[in-house]
């Protein structure tokens, strides 16, 4: 996504540029369920207002919502939010939510770097990042989402005991993740870590949503090992 605005994406006053993507208009059909751009920041700190007992689950990079819509259908007492920056992917996720008649799900067309403007302190109980782009070239490493700085920022948005689950197919990115997690050991405890998530399964190719994601299914088919880590927010 190009940013022609002179205000950087990480600045509180950043405004998303208008889009000519045809799905941008389509997303306006579902106000409340689907929120786009700066609208996604209007409920910061208030997502659970009417659901004080619910846990708030947030999936970053939910794509067409295969996993988050399934979770929401299985667990109506909790609140789920899927975030992706692709208009069409969020629209596809919305279609699934409609079919399943979900009332405990929001879909946000937004940039993951805006997370601290979308959520208040300690608001996210469970966070998920599945198969983020690995940006494998040396010149691209700066684009990786999972960094020490992000882990410090995310820690502010989660309560003590909050869980952050990450999966990747990319061994190099996973090593990077482990290093960056180790640098934030003051904030995060590594609760689980595996380099071959499905090694104990007799036929991982049979796994379906939400146990596996859309990309994960393809990796499993190609015999690629899945790496997984779960981080737990420590007390200060
Ligand atoms: C490799 S795909 C993985 C999709 C899904 N999590 C899965 O496992 O099937 C990465 C997803 O993250 C989204 N994405 C990448 N960077 C993003 C960002 N900065 N903000 C929001 N979404 C992003 C992409 O649009 C894409 O849907």
Residue nearest ligand 1's atom 3 by CA: 131
In CATH terms, the fold of domain 22-233 is: Rossmann fold (3.40.50)
pLDDT in tens, 66-119: 999 999 999 999 999 999 999 999 999 999 999 999 999 999 999 999 999 999
User: How far apart, in whole angstroms, are the C-alpha atoms of residue 211 and residue 225?
Assistant: 15
Is the shortest distance between the CB of 133 and ligand 1 below 6 Å?
yes
Residue nearest ligand 1's atom 14 by CA: 61
Is the shortest distance between the CB of 59 and ligand 1 below 6 Å?
no
* Residue with the two structure tokens 């969020």: 90
| Residue 14 reports pLDDT greater than 80 | yes
Eight-class DSSP state of 224: P
Radius of gyration of the chain (CA): 17
User: How crowded is residue 89: how many other Cβ atoms within 10 Å of its Cβ?
Assistant: 19
Q: Which residues 6+ apart lie within 8 Å of 147 measured at CB?
A: 180
Test site for ligand 1: of 3, 84, 89, 113, most ligand atoms within 8 A of the Cβ: 84
Ramachandran bin of 63, using left for φ above 0, alpha for ψ from -120 to 50, beta for the remaining angles: left
| pLDDT value, residue 2 | 57
pLDDT in tens, 80-93: 999 999 999 999 99
pLDDT in tens, 177-218: 999 999 999 999 999 999 999 999 999 999 999 999 999 999
| pLDDT value, residue 30 | 84
| Residue 236 reports pLDDT greater than 90 | no
């Amino acid at each position: 996504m190009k940013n022609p605005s002179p205000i950087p994406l990480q600045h509180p006053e950043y405004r998303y540029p208008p889009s000519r993507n045809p799905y941008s208009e389509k997303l306006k059909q579902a106000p409340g369920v689907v929120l786009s751009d700066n609208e996604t920041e209007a409920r910061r700190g208030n997502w659970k207002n009417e659901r004080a007992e619910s846990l708030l689950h947030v999936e970053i990079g939910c794509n067409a919502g295969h996993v988050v819509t399934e979770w929401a259908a299985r667990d109506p007492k909790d609140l789920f939010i899927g975030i992706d920056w692709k208009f069409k992917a969020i629209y596809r996720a919305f279609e699934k939510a409609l079919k399943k008649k979900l009332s405990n799900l929001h879909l946000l067309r937004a940039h993951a770097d805006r997370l601290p403007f979308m959520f208040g302190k300690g608001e996210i109980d469970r966070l998920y990042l599945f198969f983020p782009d690995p940006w494998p070239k040396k010149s691209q490493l700066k684009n990786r989402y999972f960094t020490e700085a992000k882990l410090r920022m995310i820690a502010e948005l989660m309560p003590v005991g909050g869980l952050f689950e990450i999966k990747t197919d990319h061994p190099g990115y996973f090593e990077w993740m482990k290093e960056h997690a180790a640098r934030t050991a003051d904030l995060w405890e590594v609760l689980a870590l595996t380099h071959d998530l499905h090694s104990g399964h007799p036929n991982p190719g049979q796994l379906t949503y939400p146990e596996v994601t859309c990309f994960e299914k393809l990796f499993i088919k190609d015999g690629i090992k899945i790496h997984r880590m779960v981080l737990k927010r420590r007390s200060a």
